[in-house]
Structure 1
Amino acid sequence: MNHQPTQAEYNEHFHGYVKLVPQGDIRETLSRSLTSTLGTLSPLTEAQAGLRYAPDKWSIKEVLGHITDNERIMAYRLLRIARGDRTPLSGYDQDVLVPGANFDECPFGLLLEDYTLVRKSTLTLLQSLSEEAWSRSGIVNGNESTARAWAYIIAGHEIHHMNVLAERYLAAIR
């Protein structure tokens, strides 16, 4: 899968994520980001993983947990659409999911392992898709989108949050 979705393939809300994704095979991009994210976050201590750059902002643990939960949800959307299920899918509220997950109480190593397993599952799903499946469309939160778009949204969402971590969190640690 070597071409990005057109803007007609997803809700404009996600354009900021999609435009962050580099050209090339999206499966390779997601595989590289697994290695990169783990390389960036694995050296952090438990205390560092609890860092917030402001009192009302998520901790590093919460950001990683959010990336993982978001990928689960978006990969589920991708799966349903790729398999031809046109049943409308709902949106979700990250501001409910993150506090409800209690990520700060989880060991950071467990959050890293969870992220790794979810990404590997996403990669396995993407490797199994036929050319036709990538182009199938469905309805998510009232908007038409393709399976291909959700793969790029997953990648761009992670890039966005890793950029925020680098700029606002990790700079304070180093």
Structure 2
Amino acid sequence: MQTQTLIDEYGRGYELLRAAVDGLSEEELRFKPAPDEWSIHEILVHVTDSEVSSTSRMRKVLAEDEPMLASFDQEAWTARLRYDLTDREEQLELFRLLRSGMKTLMGHLTPEEWRRVGVYPDLARFTFEELLGYRVRHIRGHLAQIERVRDAYRQRES
């Protein structure tokens, strides 16, 4: 995918999430298809936590020379950070702001900066552009997950 296409889709992440949940009731947002699956509410909070972590990694790649990048245990975060009690609207606003700030920064990057590299503990190496592609795919995956949860709720109701 071309860099500008990635930037554009990345920049639409908030609007895509909003459109996916527009008009859903609180019951639909809190519905869990199975005890070990996430509700749409939890998905939205996770997406923001992931964005906080990923924004930090992306900025680190731009600012430091081949920095070490850390992942996070999403299941532990969901359970221990009380996603069920988290204000979804605050989280979505934080997501919007993080994406907006990063998109602005990306508009000023040089070709060399797009190729800067970060390294994970397993020694996997990713360029800034590859990290951006992952962020785009991450939202796509969660939009599909939201659709599956919404469909499961509606099938239960019929």
Q: Name the TM-score class by shorter chain.
A: 0.7 to 0.9
1:82–1:129 CA contact under 8 A, matched in 2: no
| Equivalent-residue separation in structure 1 for 2:39 and 2:146 (angstroms) | 10
The one-character-per-residue Cα deviations of 1:68-127 (angstroms, maximum 9, x if unpaired) are: 111221221111112243232222211111212212112332333232222223322322
| Equivalent-residue separation in structure 2 for 1:100 and 1:125 (angstroms) | 32
Give the C-alpha shift of residue 2 in structure 1: 2.4
Q: Check if 1:158 corresponds to 2:136.
A: no
Query: For residue 18 of structure 1, what is the aligned residue in structure 2?
Result: none
Normalised TM-score (structure 1): 0.77
Q: 1:42 to 1:119 in 2, by over 3 A?
A: farther
Q: Check if 1:69 corresponds to 2:49.
A: yes
Letter in 1 for 2:110: S
Query: For residue 89 of structure 1, what is the aligned residue in structure 2?
Result: 69
Q: Flag as ranges the 4+ runs of structure 1 deviating above 4 A.
A: none
SS at match of 1:145: strand
SS at match of 1:96: helix
Give the C-alpha shift of residue 138 in structure 1: 2.1
Query: For residue 116 of structure 1, what is the aligned residue in structure 2?
Result: 96
Q: 1:108 to 1:46 in 2, by over 3 A?
A: farther
Structure 1 unaligned regions, length at least 5? 4-23
Q: 1:106 to 1:138 in 2, by over 3 A?
A: closer
Give the C-alpha shift of residue 173 in structure 1: 4.3
SS at match of 1:34: helix
| Equivalent-residue separation in structure 1 for 2:72 and 2:138 (angstroms) | 15
| Equivalent-residue separation in structure 2 for 1:25 and 1:74 (angstroms) | 19
Structure 2 unaligned regions, length at least 5? none
Query: For residue 2 of structure 1, what is the aligned residue in structure 2?
Result: 2
| Equivalent-residue separation in structure 2 for 1:143 and 1:72 (angstroms) | 21
Give the C-alpha shift of residue 38 in structure 1: 0.9
1:75–1:150 CA contact under 8 A, matched in 2: no
Normalised TM-score (structure 2): 0.84
Map 1:7-18 onto structure 2 (within 5 A): none
Q: CA RMSD in A?
A: 2.0
1:27–1:126 CA contact under 8 A, matched in 2: yes
Query: For residue 60 of structure 2, what is the aligned residue in structure 1?
Result: 80
